[in-house]
Amino acid sequence: MKNKMYLQILLGAIVGLLSPAITAYLIYKFKYNYISVDMLKISKALLVPLLQYGALTNLAWFFLLNYFKKTYLQRGIIFGTIFIAMYIIYLKFFGH
């Protein structure tokens, strides 16, 4: 029983990390395609908002999982969101 719980939390964390990354990539591809990836790595003025918009997709996952009463998956989504938030804070204040 406990293994199933940890597996669901891990799966939620993976979704919580990959979903914002995929969303940020899609926003970049469709809106900012003219900017090279190297320039995107340097420019935190564009990278931070992309990650913030990407993190909003976790909100959709959270409410969808809440509807289906998947508590442990929701916990994983929260862990993934917290990790993304810490990375965004690091980029804003300490990034190059």
Q: Across the 96 residues of the chain, what is the mean pLDDT of every consecutive 10-residue run?
A: 91 95 88 76 78 90 95 96 93 81
pLDDT at 63: 95
Q: What is the pLDDT of residue 51?
A: 87
Distance, in Å, from the CA atom of 67 to the CA atom of 89, rounded to the nearest integer, reads 30
Q: In whole angstroms, give the CA distance from residue 30 to residue 35.
A: 11
Q: What is the pTM of this model?
A: 0.85
Output the pLDDT for position 34: 81
Q: Are 24 and 53 in contact (CB under 8 A)?
A: yes
pLDDT at 16: 95
